[in-house]
Every structure is written in structure tokens, then in C-alpha cells.
Amino acid sequence: MQLVGLEATIKFDEATQVRTPARNIFSALGGKTPKTKLREPGVTIKNEKEKFLISWHYEECRIVLEETKTHKECLDLVVNIIQTIDSVAPVGTMQEVRLETRWLLPAPSHDFNSLNELYMRMMVSPKEFMKDAYDSSVIIDSETDDFVLHHQSGPMEPSQLLEDFLEFKRDKLPGVFIFLSVGLTHTKVLEYSREKLQTLFADGLHRCEQHAEDFHKIWEGDL
């Protein structure tokens, strides 16, 4: 399995979301502080050379990495970015933490149609209404410990990967492959600390890697 993208998202708890510059100005000028959040523009940084995207808003922070690095380097970079953000805009309480990994498994012995036929035989219980299906995918959500695991997979060509799942252009993609997205979401409220986040992401990445490895074993000898 080839890792082609990693995305980390932190959703801030409401106690953090209300601490905005607009709210502070509103209060300073003597206005009655509204109960709802005041909308303000966020920050988006997109680096084409290094293939990373940082998107920060009052509701959440999202970081996408698509440069080829070791998995540990990816996590270290994500944690460092969030630590830098915390130094100027305190993260506070984290309502939800999500880590998504995107993988592809080349299928050199197939074109798209034959790969789709194989995928449906392996992943879907055939039904009459499926007999003319020319594209397919499987989406599964399951609970494991304190996480919700999200699985999405299906046969794919480069154009769909680039359009729907990647933020940056990518060369040397296989002509056809099985795509796998594995996401782990931790939904328990946590007070932010670098150590907590690092542990959470390390655990999440290990689970994503294990799921990708188990998924890979399904296709051994068929691609």
C-alpha cells in the first residue's frame, strides 16, 4: 500500500470557539455579547512545493500533507504545526480529533473494468440490480475503543483521485488502482496538550496502518 495523503483535523470545543477577536471588540465597545459565534475569516496556507495545506478557522483546524515522507515524519510535522498555532491562538479544548490516511494499491494486471469486476466479487454480495454496475465502492463506519473508524475503498483511476481526494497534482500514478481511505475519529472532549495530541495521533496512525495492511492482504495474488 502506498500512502499518498494524510489529513489531520481538530474541531474546537465551543468554549474555544467563542474566544474570537470580533467578540472581544464587541464586548469592549459595550455591546451585549451575542450567544452565537461571530463569523470571521480564517487562515489558509497552501504550499505547492512542499505539498501541504493548513486551514484554520474558529471551528476547526485542518492540515493536509501529500509530500512523500515517512509516516512518523508526517505526524511530527502535523504536531509541530498545531503547536505553533497554539502559541498564537490557543487550541484550548478539543471536541473532536480526526486522522485520515489515503492509500492506493496498484493493479497492473487490470484495466478499470476488470478491476471493478474483481472488486465487486471480493467486496460486495452480488444482487440482480448490480449486474450492470460500472463503478463501485464500499463505505463502512465502525467503533473501536474510543475511536470511530471510517473505511472507504474502490477501484479508481488517477483523474478521480486528483479531483476528489488530493489537494495537489501528483505525477507517476498507476494507470488503475484500488483506493483506500482510512479515518480514525476520537470524539471524547480533551484539553489540548502537545503530548496528548502526539499520543492520540500515533495511536490513530498505527490503527490506520494496521487496517491498510489487513485490506492489502485481501488482494494478494489477484492484482
b/e per residue 103-118 (b: at least 16 CB within 10 A): bbbebeebebeebbeb
What's the pLDDT score for residue 9?
A: 96
pLDDT in tens, 138-149: 999 999 888 899
Residue 70 confidence (pLDDT): 84
Task: Please state, for a pLDDT cut of 90, what percent of the chain lies above it.
Answer: 63
Q: Residue 45: name the closest of 58, 59, 60, 64 by CA.
A: 64
User: By percentage, how much of the chain surpasses pLDDT 70?
Assistant: 86
pLDDT tens for residues 76-131? 999 999 999 888 888 889 999 999 999 999 999 999 999 999 999 999 877 766 67
Q: Is 27 helix (H, G, I), strand (E, B) or coil?
A: helix
Nearest to 201 by CA among 102, 109, 33, 78: 78
Task: List the domain boundaries for the chain.
Answer: 2-218
Q: What is the pLDDT of residue 38?
A: 59
Average pLDDT over residues 203-207: 93
Residue range 14-26: mean pLDDT, rounded: 65
**Cα angle, residue 146 at apex, residues 194 and 17 outer, rounded to 5°:** 55
Average pLDDT, the chain: 88
The model's pTM: 0.86
- pLDDT per residue as tens digits for the range 32-78: 666 666 566 678 899 999 999 999 888 889 999 998 778 888 899 99
Is the predicted pLDDT of residue 179 greater than 80, yes or no? yes
Percent helix, percent strand, percent coil in the chain, to nearest 5:
35, 30, 35
pLDDT-derived band at 163, boundaries 50, 70, 90: very high
